Amino acid sequence: MLNGTIPIQVFALSSLSVYLDLCHNALIGSVPVEVGKLVNLAQLDLSKKKLSGIIPSSLGSCIDLEWIHLQGNFF
C-alpha cells in the first residue's frame, strides 16, 4: 500500500518497459512529467487514486503505450 505522491524515481527505472500498475494505492497529487521517460511502456494503470491536475503532455513520449487506465481520479 503506497501513499503520498508518485515518486519520480519510479520513472527512472529502465526495467519498466512493458507494464506499470500503481492502482489500488493511496497515491495523491499529479502525474509527474517524468512519466514520458518510459518511452517503451505499453500499459499504464493509475486507476482508483486521488490523482488530480492535468495529464502531462510528456505521456505522448511513451511511443509504445497501447493501454492506459485512469478511472477514479480527478483530472
User: What would the pLDDT profile of 10-63 be if each residue is shown by its tens digit?
Assistant: 888 877 878 999 988 889 999 999 999 999 999 999 998 889 999 999 999 999
Q: Where are the domains of the chain?
A: 3-69
The pLDDT value given to residue 15? 77
The pLDDT value given to residue 24? 84
Size of the chain, expressed as the number of residues it contains: 75
The C-alpha R_g of the chain, in whole angstroms, comes to 11
Give the cell for residue 56. 502531462
The pLDDT value given to residue 29? 94
Q: Which CATH architecture has domain 3-69?
A: Alpha-Beta Horseshoe (3.80)
The pLDDT value given to residue 66? 95
The pLDDT value given to residue 16? 80
Task: Give the per-residue SS3 of 14-43.
Answer: CCCCCEEECCCCEEEECCCHHHHHCCCCCE
SS3 57: helix
Provide the whole-model pTM.
0.86
